[in-house]
Amino acid sequence: METGNVENAILAKLEQPESPLMQRVTRNNQILLHNYQAEVIKHCQCVLEGCERTFGIVLIPNQILYPKFCGEHRSEFRREFHLQQHPALRQAQGPGVVEKLRTQEKEFSATAL
């Protein structure tokens, strides 16, 4: 089974963490390099500050891109809502997640043109 085009592009850019592709991909995902030949379940901790949830992901052979947030915080709206419910976290985070993402997308669009 061959690695997908996305995985090939990411592997090619792994040594360039500053590249726009890597920044865009790792904003909401994590890269897990592995050499498993069969599916394996791995337990990860949600990286959203203030969330203590652990969630399972299935490591699939020839796939390296996996979610960074638990199911409860996968969408931008849910992450923003979580931070609104915890004002101390929101102050520590600075601008909201949605605002940060919009700024990053504008910067990426400007550099892509």
Name the residue with higher pLDDT: 63 or 109: 63
Number of structural domains the chain divides into: 1
pLDDT of res. 113: 45
4-30 burial, b at 16+ Cβ within 10 Å, e below that, comes to: eeeeeebeebeeeeeeeebeebeeeee
pLDDT of res. 1: 43
Q: For 65-91, write each residue's pLDDT tens digit.
A: 999 999 999 999 999 999 888 776 655
Give Cα separations from 50 to 45, 64, 67, 78 (angstroms). Answer: 11, 26, 17, 13
Asked if the model's pLDDT at residue 95 lies above 70, the reply is no
Q: Can you tell me the mean pLDDT for 18-42?
A: 89
Quick one: what percent of the chain has pLDDT higher than 70? 73
- Based on its alpha-carbon atoms, the radius of gyration of the chain, rounded to whole angstroms, reads 16
What domain range is 57 assigned to? 5-112
pLDDT of res. 25: 85
pTM of the model: 0.66
